[in-house]
């Protein structure tokens, strides 16, 4: 007579397979999270590069405006309009130096 015994498996292999499946799922979820972080960092880097380029353009425009204000022709015309006189040998005020202890 044959006796059939059900559920006579090795519990150690079932436990090992369960642990490996849990580790695989965790690794896949962690990999997805890291990939999303990497993509976000790349997009942020691109946005910052665009901001830097825009700031460089604005800086160049401001420098151009500043140099335009200090243009010699404009300064000379301003001097002539306000009847200013160019002093060749200016005398500057000097303050007395206080002795420091």
Total number of domains in the chain: 1
Domain-located, residue 76: yes
Domain-located, residue 97: no
Question: Per residue in 60-96, pLDDT tens?
Answer: 999 999 988 888 887 778 777 887 777 788 888 777 7
* pTM: predicted TM-score of the whole model, two decimal places: 0.53
Domain-located, residue 56: yes
Domain-located, residue 3: no
Domain-located, residue 87: no
Domain that holds residue 51: 11-81
Q: In this structure, are residues 93 and 100 in contact, taking their beta carbons and an 8 Å threshold? A: no
Question: How far lies 98's CA from each of 39, 42, 93, 94, in Å?
Answer: 63, 59, 16, 12
* Percentage of the chain exceeding pLDDT 70: 89
């Amino acid at each position: 007579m044959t006796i059939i015994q059900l559920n006579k498996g090795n519990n150690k292999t079932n436990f090992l397979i369960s642990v490996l499946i849990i580790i695989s799922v965790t690794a896949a979820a962690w990999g997805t999270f890291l990939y999303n972080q990497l993509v976000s960092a790349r997009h942020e880097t691109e946005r910052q590069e665009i901001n830097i380029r825009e700031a460089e353009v604005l800086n160049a425009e401001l420098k151009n405006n500043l140099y335009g204000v200090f243009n010699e022709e404009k300064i000379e015309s301003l001097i002539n309009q306000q009847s200013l006189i160019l002093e060749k040998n200016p005398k500057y005020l000097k303050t007395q130096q206080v002795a420091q202890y």
